[in-house]
Structure 1
């Protein structure tokens, strides 16, 4: 069984039930499954075959759902990409991921026109009509990418039914998720059909997601948290997705009330905005039976404040891209423990080990490792990194954690120096790489500092060679090379970075400067 075949079975069982609602428009399971098959057939007619790589550069729209499942149905490997990434970031993933076709927002046509000569492997650019008149000023027939351009609608319309598709094996790679790497370049975590299917199934089972649920899907679909918890899990259970293009407290309250939403999944930043929203009426969220939080640790005060105001349980969990992503959740049939990431979900085992890989006693801090059918196949074209992360059947997360006497896990520290901004991972090295490329910078060091709205913010210390270089100059430069959430909130110039005797930069000393 895989996600594509499960959608087909769900469509037969609940053919006239809404699969999703988007801006007031309802699509039934039968309509969704038909569109998926026709899109898969259309891709095949373009020459896309099993094993080819297709990038999805889209936000939260039906195009993402149809594109994702259609690509899986034709046997392609999907590479989701954040559409707000810069050309440098998108280009690296597209090229490193050996992408043959890109399904993209119409707003991105000018960007891909500029990138065209740097994307030699891309043969098709399938454009989704999401913003009427987005490129009215362009004469697309004169663009260098014109021969590659296809309309998403036309690809669907040219498809044939029925479309059986190729045989998909459990071990075939279904998705490659690029995660920010400590070396400065993203790593592509290869997730198989079994990885994704098993995690969506087990999450749906653990959180009791059913055909009765109306799930608010406002987390970005290109992120694995949303992909599994708020997209795949409800679709395999016969639930209905309430698709929100962009998070807005006003829209969430309105949607929840109008459609009697039962499940909301978000990162702590979203919960903070909902709690602080002046016009937030608890009655509008009265239909919610469950709220799910992930992406970063939720402050206990925020968790308790949200639950008290809206009278709904918030279940915190833990996951990572390499595990499809969920490994832990606070259980619904036992006491929830604030500050904990919960217990093992079904079929997944978490363990705390020392440097030798031996399990440590309860309460003792060690590295969190994971095993189960959800654990990735490895990193794309990175055998050494794969061997370092996958050892003896276990995925080594790099996170420090402890377990109590009831099997509840607690994250003590995150992967080395990773910064979490609004639920998104930012590795200091990524930002440092950009800063080091500036001709007027000698040294740079990046760290995370507390931020009341985003959880953490990016703080930079820079040694410059040009005395005329200003913070504003660098911020303009960074905007050209980094996604918005990775941008520094503060850049400070200092004479020298603190180092130890071996020349290693002492981040702790820099953190001490921030707190002074």
Structure 2
């Protein structure tokens, strides 16, 4: 399937006039880096389990990207085609995105935690032409999983497997061992295929209230209009070193671990498995100055930091997002590491929209999720769409340059109003200085460890369980992960009991990813409902606060 999206002429004119959009694509910035800093480190990737380090200069990265791009084109990948990848934070993912942009293809990153249930829908819905996976990662055989799915994916023409012994589908043998760039006029190919700033370059699935993932479409203009002010607010430049252990298949890792370093002509350091002790080793060797991750990463790092003050001394900025940062954690971080803790809020649809400033007092990171970055606006409104008084809770709306350009095949869900405002589904308060605080969500999503859990989809699976007559999933507060998933169920007559292990085993049989499994179960005689029969989840969320205790075992 060839992806295209139309940007309204009024929006484009406004964004160009304001300077928010400049029509540059990531390969423009790569070319600038290669011409000005060819020998400078561009990408350093660590595989934790193998204890392997791989480094590329900008010239080396450019060479391998050109070969990969020519190879993908030779495999039949056309402009606008979708190339999916289910990869950890390996160097191949950065190179693959750059190669796709060289030939105008669209990269579709998929989280490594996904299994058959998620991939069947995502790959089929996108009609992906190419899929790149590891042979194995963390003990799981991805190649075998994809082999089992291929009969259901007629559009999938090529599966390339990293570390495979099968030469016919080995990523190395197919794309890298052959000098594809010598078999074609790459200058003409890349010139002909170069995407416009408004062309789709990224398809990233997010979870919502519809019961199935939504495919978020971004252009180079929307992505870079977020990266540039983000880097400016944090005072990042070419001498900074970006450390990224957050998944590149998540918007956080993609924007600020893959794209931003190339924009800045700086170095990106990737770690594929989160291990705080290994991160300390990486920090000692590479001297990173910036990282961004969800709260659990920060909690784990500051737990180990007191034993390693010098190893972590280079870290200047730690941006935490995905869930509000507990105040106690910020205080502990201030005592354990020298980095400034910056709080942020954003979405797959926008990137980071609000951030505190490094110059702000520490209390800002504790008590707020920041103020809007340049070229973005936020409003807090009531049910009629009118602004609420400062300090009052309301629905959070977003407008601006980094707002995405649509959902794949679902124009009906792109509910941006005539003035450009997008309803986030979050509840928030705004103070007198424009700083917001996320207070809850109107949409039915639980955020665990910075990852959205598709609640409706899992509920639909649980309704298939022979013992369950009704189910509601809610999040319960957790200091480390932000939220954990709690299942409230009622049982059919004749089924007197149900255990958490029963639920986990059932969902595992459905091939649901481990990160989406409930961690608490409550069996009730009845679920609270409205007169019309709708489950009152706000009552269950209140009840869940009493069962999800701080002593819960970390994942």
TM-score w.r.t. length of structure 2: 0.86
DSSP 3-state at the match of 1:283: coil
RMSD: 2.0
Alpha-carbon distance in 1 for matches of 2:417, 2:155? 30
Q: Identify if the C-alpha distance between structure 1 residues 152 and 394 changes in structure 2 by more than 3 Å, giving closer, same or farther.
A: farther
Which one of the candidate residues 381, 388, 393 is aligned to 1:365?
393
Alpha-carbon distance in 2 for matches of 1:79, 1:391? 29
Alpha-carbon distance in 2 for matches of 1:4, 1:464? 56
Residue 435 of structure 1, CA deviation: 0.4
DSSP 3-state at the match of 1:183: coil
Alpha-carbon distance in 2 for matches of 1:218, 1:297? 19
* Structure 2 unaligned regions, length at least 5: 1-23, 47-52, 137-141, 548-555
Q: Is the 8 A contact 1:60 1:244 kept in 2?
A: yes
Answering whether residue 463 of structure 2 is matched by residue 442 of structure 1, we say no
Q: Is the 8 A contact 1:56 1:68 kept in 2?
A: no
Which one of the candidate residues 111, 129, 143 is aligned to 1:100?
129
Partner of 1:192: 219
Alpha-carbon distance in 2 for matches of 1:218, 1:160? 32
Q: Identify if the C-alpha distance between structure 1 residues 359 and 88 changes in structure 2 by more than 3 Å, giving closer, same or farther.
A: same
- Please list the CA deviations of residues 71-107 of structure 1 after superposition, one character each: whole Å capped at 9, or x if unmatched: 1221111111012211010110001112111111122
Partner of 2:354: 328
Residue 115 of structure 1, CA deviation: 0.7
Residue 455 of structure 1, CA deviation: 2.2
Residue 408 of structure 1, CA deviation: 1.6
The within-5 A match list for 1:45-444 is 45-107=74-136, 108-129=142-163, 149-156=169-176, 157-160=178-181, 163-164=186-187, 165=190, 166-277=193-304, 280-323=307-350, 325-336=351-362, 337=364, 338-386=366-414, 388-444=415-471
Q: Is the 8 A contact 2:376 2:401 kept in 1?
A: yes
Residue 513 of structure 1, CA deviation: 3.9
- Please list the CA deviations of residues 211-230 of structure 1 after superposition, one character each: whole Å capped at 9, or x if unmatched: 11111111100000111122
Alpha-carbon distance in 2 for matches of 1:327, 1:278? 29
Residue 279 of structure 1, CA deviation: 6.6
Alpha-carbon distance in 1 for matches of 2:153, 2:371? 44
- Please list the CA deviations of residues 172-218 of structure 1 after superposition, one character each: whole Å capped at 9, or x if unmatched: 11111111121210011111121112222222222222111111111
Q: Is the 8 A contact 1:225 1:295 kept in 2?
A: no
The within-5 A match list for 1:2-81 is 2-23=25-46, 24-81=53-110
Residue 168 of structure 1, CA deviation: 1.1
Runs of 4+ in 1 over 6 A off after TM superposition: none
Alpha-carbon distance in 2 for matches of 1:451, 1:335? 25
Answering whether residue 521 of structure 2 is matched by residue 491 of structure 1, we say yes
Alpha-carbon distance in 2 for matches of 1:213, 1:233? 11
TM-score w.r.t. length of structure 1: 0.92
Alpha-carbon distance in 1 for matches of 2:378, 2:540? 34
Q: Is the 8 A contact 1:56 1:79 kept in 2?
A: yes
Partner of 2:483: 456
Q: Identify if the C-alpha distance between structure 1 residues 512 and 348 changes in structure 2 by more than 3 Å, giving closer, same or farther.
A: closer
Moved more, 407-416 or 6-15: 407-416
- Please list the CA deviations of residues 301-356 of structure 1 after superposition, one character each: whole Å capped at 9, or x if unmatched: 10121112213210111110111x11111112444512211112122222222333
Alignment size in residue pairs: 500
Which one of the candidate residues 491, 502, 506 is aligned to 1:477?
506
Q: Is the 8 A contact 2:305 2:336 kept in 1?
A: no
Alpha-carbon distance in 1 for matches of 2:454, 2:420? 26
DSSP 3-state at the match of 1:110: helix
* Structure 1 unaligned regions, length at least 5: 130-134
Q: Is the 8 A contact 2:135 2:143 kept in 1?
A: yes
Alpha-carbon distance in 2 for matches of 1:450, 1:344? 26
Partner of 1:132: none
DSSP 3-state at the match of 1:21: strand
Q: Is the 8 A contact 1:215 1:264 kept in 2?
A: yes
Moved more, 80-89 or 480-489: 480-489
Q: Identify if the C-alpha distance between structure 1 residues 499 and 59 changes in structure 2 by more than 3 Å, giving closer, same or farther.
A: same
Residue 276 of structure 1, CA deviation: 2.0
Residue 39 of structure 1, CA deviation: 0.7
Alpha-carbon distance in 1 for matches of 2:133, 2:423? 34
DSSP 3-state at the match of 2:247: coil
Q: Is the 8 A contact 2:315 2:338 kept in 1?
A: no
Q: Identify if the C-alpha distance between structure 1 residues 491 and 253 changes in structure 2 by more than 3 Å, giving closer, same or farther.
A: same
